[in-house]
């Protein structure tokens, strides 16, 4: 052994698990249980949907190939003796609850109305070798439970085992239905395969939503059959585009993994890239001075009927092909000097006898009503609620982003909220300004560590009568300073923090307050959370540490792991955990 | 074209180059020059050393395989016509200057006394197709010039070309001889192949020194033939060790690339890992309370004669096998409560009638004299100069790390300085605390962007008569929160900033003040620096963007590039450069 550890600490450490988000109800034991060589899943369901059977196949593949050794200093060696005598688990039976509705594909359930989705499941893993059981009301619930099951197992020289049997999860379900990640694919392009890998990671932590900020001022990568010129002229290059087939591929891949893809075409601001193909629709393109928020400047001529019609048709073309019940129209950072200086806009406002705010209101009404007419509920950024004198219809959802402190103001207007605050959830802060000269101060400095995100309180300054307005939340990557090369380290494991905030809720299953577990002085709780998120990171690696070092001995190029971790990550958890109590 | 760019800006952009660090003397033109299909290097030297011919082979390989398209919006497409008529360069002749001393291997010159090294070179690349010439006084100078030559070339559909002919570098040489990077391989282990990849990156930006912080309290990965138990018991695992052969492999690999490896065995603090094999030599191992700086606590019993003898023999065993003229003995963060509470230490101090400070002084004298006896010059951290009442001999070098403001105090004591200040050069700051509960505040927050490091002034508060004390500087990676998985993005391209600070010095070759180029309002200069560091990042990628996207089309796993970039990086330089003037 490389260290001296007290017996109590050993027991504590062997309880450490890879469950993330931790189920809201959880009972575990301390019995070693192996996975039998011939372990298999048994699906006790008539006519199971194909995406469920595929999910089971993937779960089986993971069990066979994920060789994570438990992250304790001896990597589980002290379990060797006990494993020889441990019982073996031969099967996990999946079934629907007696009163469950007819099963539908995961992909169908993933895009249901938010509050219609039933992601609940119950999981029992006995310690005596008798079959485990997973039960839910829907394929989506079974999928969530399958994920939990997959997070129980560790490897010791080919033996797959858990240290926590028996495991009982009674009706785990998420505290909030909207649990997601936002990715900006305009400031930098992300190929389909990188987005799929991101979706894999999201599904592993039971996320339900991918907010796809697909276009913005810097580039227009979105191919639209009815408006091919937008991407032809507005993408960074022909390769840096998403064809309509690519979009469907991503949407389908996500849905099969329980993820609803909510696309955003931000407007009327953040639309300079439209000018490459339709300069007639864009004001102050590549302007200077105060028309510039983030360069290049350029905003849709929102007082122009032609521009409005163009936009309505374009949004329709895009949204009508997406299965989600939601569509995000943006509406952040509308630059007023841009419109004040645009002669055409001034003329059109004058002609129609409207102020700029009137026109913004008309624009939002028109775009939102068109989306409603094709069955979409609109989502906007907070300015549409807080900064503009417009009336939103009451189905509209607002993303609070400028500051977590703004949630109360949005709730006061009785608007449904998705938490996306920069001060907790922006993954891109803290690396210095992107325009070159800044000496370390990006606007939303400092770096938001996983701990910071983990301590977010969705109900801060929200009254009991307003709680129903909170749909959930997401962490966000803006891509001025990111691309496929750093997608993994910039996103993971930090984005997992909100996955637990919005699934597990304010209280961990043992009754500990979640925020206090990190922000407080409860060392045991802190150690437990740290252990779980380190397991998460390690498990998402392509290969175990041991295999990787083996490769190095064989003088091969060290494999780049599937998920590099962010530099805010403590990499030697297997050792530091034993020192944790020594620090405070 | 994807954008409208003014002609002036086009010319400016096409001057943007990948030269980093930029030579201290540089004249360039605007003539396109191709590399001929049969381009070759010609070595006009009798009996060239093998490592020089190998370096030339590597340079040739790079020219054949590096397919970086110039980072402008059209990726150089507008050069296509001009390239058809451009002249071709058939050869680069390497030669020694007439009065140069007998050539020696690069590896020999790389470890010379600091001020004895001659890294200067002159490079002429004519624009008329006649051969280019590279001349220097040493193989090391030729190696530096070869690196400069390699940074001139871009690709356009298989044509390799430069836009800057004729290029004249007259006697480029570094402003400071010590230009390096520090890596901590104790808090987390880094396999040999990762260290070699780091050395490749260092050599590309002409760095001269690798400061290897090989051991510390958390683990002892260093295998020592005479003291095998240290790594056997103190390493994280048997695989996470550097055998004596590994050490030689790294030292040789580095030296062949013009890099001196200065090893540090930090002591008497930061030595808890010795307790795994020699508990008798370590005080307050895994203690609690105020004996703990960074856990685990544990320091060598510096009042013990047995411990001193052990340490002297161990340091001798290690240092005697390393070719460097330097050896670093650490000496930072000596925890006094640890010794105050250690009964054995108190007894030994009492018996020898010494205070703790006396014993620290004796310890340093003894360890440093032993190193001197085997030809090594000792290096220490600043506390040994500023915080302890000890007398260092005047060959000792100090690394200023706690704050850049401490350099003046060290200089006031007439001690030679290597700049390693946390406030500019620590690569690990800004990701949150590693002990779990910190909500975003690592001790040296915020993140140190490349711009911050770039604006470092080695002579701030240093008088003219003290300037000779400044040997150079380095950026540092402490590895509590890093490992091989994020080595590239955490280190590059940020570490390149100091490479230019200490090679190019305070003034860019066109006379611009280097600090003002980033910190000031000179947009042209800022754009130029930004362009060059973006080229650097792109060039270190394994493959061009185009190839990578091609792979994605072929539905292969996206290749992980050789060098992922740090998240503080602006990834879309090819486009944003044109907006730069719009921002300020």
HEC states along B96-131?
ECCCCCCCCCHHHHCCCCHHHCCCCEEEEECCCCCC
Chain A residue closest in CA terms to B3: A276
Q: Who contacts A57 (Cβ-Cβ below 8 Å, separation ≥6)?
A: none
Q: What pLDDT score was predicted for residue A582?
A: 52
Q: What pLDDT score was predicted for residue B185?
A: 96
Nearest CA of chain A to the CA of B426: how many Å?
Answer: 13
Determine contact: A544 vs chain B, CB below 8 A: no
Q: Which two tokens stand for residue B433?
A: 């605390």
Residues of B in contact with A188 (CB under 8 A): 571-572
Question: Of all helices (H) and strands (E), which one includes residue B56?
Answer: helix B50-65
Contact B567 A489 (CB under 8 A): yes
d(CA A356, CA A303): 8
Contact B191 A552 (CB under 8 A): yes
Indicate whether B544 pLDDT > 70.
Answer: no
Residues of A in contact with B530 (CB under 8 A): 436
CB A153 within 8 A of CB A171: no
d(CA A405, CA A387): 15
Q: What pLDDT score was predicted for residue A541?
A: 59
> For chain A, how far is it from start to end, CA to CA, in angstroms?
25
Nearest residue to A133 (alpha-carbon basis) of A146, A144, A120? A146
Contact B432 A568 (CB under 8 A): yes
**Three-state secondary structure along B276-335?**
HCCHHHEECCCCCHHHCCCCCCCEECCCCHHHHHHHHHHHHHHHCCCCCCEEEEECCCCC
Strands B87-96, B132-136: pairing is: parallel
CB B220 within 8 A of CB B271: no
CB A115 within 8 A of CB A191: no
Q: What pLDDT score was predicted for residue B573?
A: 56
Nearest residue to B151 (alpha-carbon basis) of B137, B138, B167? B167
pLDDT tens, position by position, for chain A (584 residues)?
333 333 334 444 445 578 999 999 999 999 999 999 999 999 999 999 999 999 999 999 989 888 888 877 677 889 999 999 999 999 999 999 999 999 999 999 999 999 999 999 999 999 999 999 999 999 999 999 999 999 999 999 989 999 999 999 999 999 999 999 999 999 888 999 999 999 999 999 999 999 999 999 989 999 999 999 999 999 988 888 999 999 999 999 999 999 999 999 999 999 999 999 999 999 999 888 899 888 889 999 999 999 999 999 999 999 999 999 999 999 999 999 999 999 999 999 999 999 999 999 999 999 999 999 999 999 999 999 999 988 899 999 999 999 999 999 999 999 999 999 999 999 988 877 766 555 556 788 888 888 899 999 999 999 999 999 999 999 999 998 888 877 887 888 899 999 999 999 999 999 999 998 887 777 777 778 878 887 887 776 544 344 444 444 443 333 223 334 444 344 455 555 555 555 44
d(CA A367, CA A308): 8
Nearest CA of chain A to the CA of B17: how many Å?
Answer: 17
Burial of A158 (0-12, 13-18, 19+ CB in 10 A): exposed
Instruction: Give Cα B215 to chain centroid, integer Å.
Output: 19
Determine contact: B555 vs chain A, CB below 8 A: yes
Contact B449 A434 (CB under 8 A): no
Q: For the whole model, what pTM was predicted? A: 0.88
Q: Who contacts A77 (Cβ-Cβ below 8 Å, separation ≥6)?
A: A1, A156
Q: Which two tokens stand for residue B113?
A: 């006394």
**Three-state secondary structure along A447-490?**
CCCHHHHHCCCCCCCCCHHHHHHEEEEEEEECCCCCCHHHHHHH
Q: What pLDDT score was predicted for residue A437?
A: 54
Residues of B in contact with A518 (CB under 8 A): 436-437, 439
The band of B485, judged by pLDDT with boundaries at 50, 70 and 90, is confident
Burial of B81 (0-12, 13-18, 19+ CB in 10 A): exposed
d(CA A209, CA A257): 10
Phi-psi region of A430 (alpha: psi -120 to 50; beta: other; left: phi over 0): left
- Which is higher by pLDDT, B16 or A41? A41
Nearest CA of chain A to the CA of B561: how many Å?
Answer: 7
The band of B16, judged by pLDDT with boundaries at 50, 70 and 90, is low
CB A299 within 8 A of CB A279: no
d(CA A340, CA A331): 18
Phi first, then psi: what are they for B52, rounded to 5°?
Answer: -75, -45
Q: Which two tokens stand for residue B551?
A: 């792979």
The band of B483, judged by pLDDT with boundaries at 50, 70 and 90, is confident
Determine contact: B193 vs chain A, CB below 8 A: yes
Q: Which two tokens stand for residue B423?
A: 């406030």
d(CA B11, CA B25): 21
SS3 of B94, please? strand
Q: Which of B451, B571, B575 sits opposite A483 (nearest CB)?
A: B571
Indicate whether B437 pLDDT > 60.
Answer: no
Nearest CA of chain A to the CA of B193: how many Å?
Answer: 7
Long-range contact pairs involving A355-361 (C-beta distance under 8 Å, separation at least 24): A356/A303, A357/A388, A357/A389, A357/A390, A359/A302, A359/A303, A360/A268, A360/A302, A360/A334, A360/A388, A360/A390, A361/A388, A361/A389, A361/A390, A361/A391
Average pLDDT of the segment spanning B81-87 = 95
Determine contact: B554 vs chain A, CB below 8 A: no
Q: What pLDDT score was predicted for residue B528?
A: 82
Q: Per DSSP, what are the bridge partners of residue A167?
A: A125
Number of neighbouring beta carbons within 10 Å of residue B191 = 22
| pLDDT tens, residue by residue, A342-369 | 999 999 999 999 999 999 999 999 999 9
For all residues of chain B together, what is the average pLDDT?
88
Indicate whether B315 pLDDT > 80.
Answer: yes
Counting one residue from chain A and one from chain B, the pairs whose CB atoms sit within 8 A come to 277
Q: Per DSSP, what are the bridge partners of residue A174?
A: none
Q: What pLDDT score was predicted for residue B563?
A: 39
B333 labelled catalytic: yes
């Amino acid at each position: 052994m490389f260290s001296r550890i007290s017996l109590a600490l050993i027991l504590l450490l062997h309880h450490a698990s890879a469950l993330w988000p931790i189920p809201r109800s959880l009972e575990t034991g301390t019995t070693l249980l192996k996975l039998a060589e011939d372990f298999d899943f048994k699906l006790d369901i008539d006519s199971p949907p194909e995406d469920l059977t595929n999910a089971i196949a993937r779960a089986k593949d993971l069990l066979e190939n994920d060789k994570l050794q438990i992250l304790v200093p001896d990597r589980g060696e002290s379990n060797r003796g006990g494993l020889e005598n441990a019982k073996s688990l031969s099967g996990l039976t999946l079934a629907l609850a007696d009163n469950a509705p007819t099963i539908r594909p995961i992909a169908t359930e993933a895009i249901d109305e938010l509050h219609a989705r039933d992601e609940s499941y119950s999981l029992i893993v006995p310690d005596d070798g008798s079959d485990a059981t997973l039960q839910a009301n829907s394929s989506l619930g079974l999928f969530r439970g399958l994920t939990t099951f997959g997070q129980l197992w560790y490897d010791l020289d080919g033996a797959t085992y858990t240290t926590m049997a028996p495991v009982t999860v009674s009706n785990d379900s998420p505290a909030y239905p909207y649990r997601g990640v936002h990715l900006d694919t305009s400031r930098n392009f992300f190929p389909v395969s990188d987005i799929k890998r991101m979706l894999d990671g999201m599904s592993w932590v039971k996320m339900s939503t991918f907010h796809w900020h697909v276009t913005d001022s810097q580039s227009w990568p979105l191919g639209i059959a009815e408006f091919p010129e937008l991407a032809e002229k507005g993408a960074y290059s022909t390769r840096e585009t998403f064809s309509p087939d690519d979009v469907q591929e991503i949407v389908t891949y996500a849905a099969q993994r329980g993820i609803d893809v909510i696309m955003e075409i931000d407007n009327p601001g953040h639309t300079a890239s439209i000018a490459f193909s339709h300069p007639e629709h864009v004001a102050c393109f590549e302007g200077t001075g105060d028309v510039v928020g983030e360069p290049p400047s350029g905003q849709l001529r929102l007082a122009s009927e032609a521009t409005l019609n163009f936009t309505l048709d374009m949004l329709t073309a895009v949204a009508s092909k997406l299965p989600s019940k939601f569509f995000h129209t943006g509406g952040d950072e509308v630059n007023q000097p841009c419109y004040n200086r645009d002669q055409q806009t001034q003329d059109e406002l004058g002609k129609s006898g409207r102020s700029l705010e009137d026109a913004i209101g008309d624009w939002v009404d028109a775009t939102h009503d068109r989306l409603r007419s094709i069955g979409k509920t609109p989502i906007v950024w907070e300015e549409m609620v807080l900064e503009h004198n417009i009336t939103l219809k009451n189905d509209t959802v607002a993303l609070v982003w400028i500051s977590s402190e703004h949630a109360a103001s949005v709730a006061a207007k009785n608007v449904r909220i998705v938490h996306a605050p920069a001060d907790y959830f922006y993954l891109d802060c803290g690396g210095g300004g992107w325009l070159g000269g800044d000496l370390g101060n990006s606007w939303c400095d400092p770096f938001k560590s996983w701990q910071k995100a983990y301590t977010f309180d969705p109900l801060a300054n929200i009254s009991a009568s307003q709680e129903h307005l909170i749909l959930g939340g997401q962490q966000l990557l803006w891509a001025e300073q990111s691309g496929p090369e750093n997608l993994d380290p910039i996103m993971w494991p930090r984005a997992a923090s909100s996955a637990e905030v919005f699934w597990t809720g304010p209280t961990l299953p043992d009754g500990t307050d979640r925020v206090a577990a990190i922000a407080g002085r409860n060392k045991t709780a802190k150690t437990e959370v740290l252990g779980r998120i380190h397991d998460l990171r390690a498990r998402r690696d392509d290969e175990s540490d041991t295999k990787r070092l083996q490769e190095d001995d064989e003088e091969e190029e060290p494999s780049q792991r599937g998920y590099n971790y962010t530099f805010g990550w403590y990499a030697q958890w297997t050792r530091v955990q034993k020192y944790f109590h020594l620090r405070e």
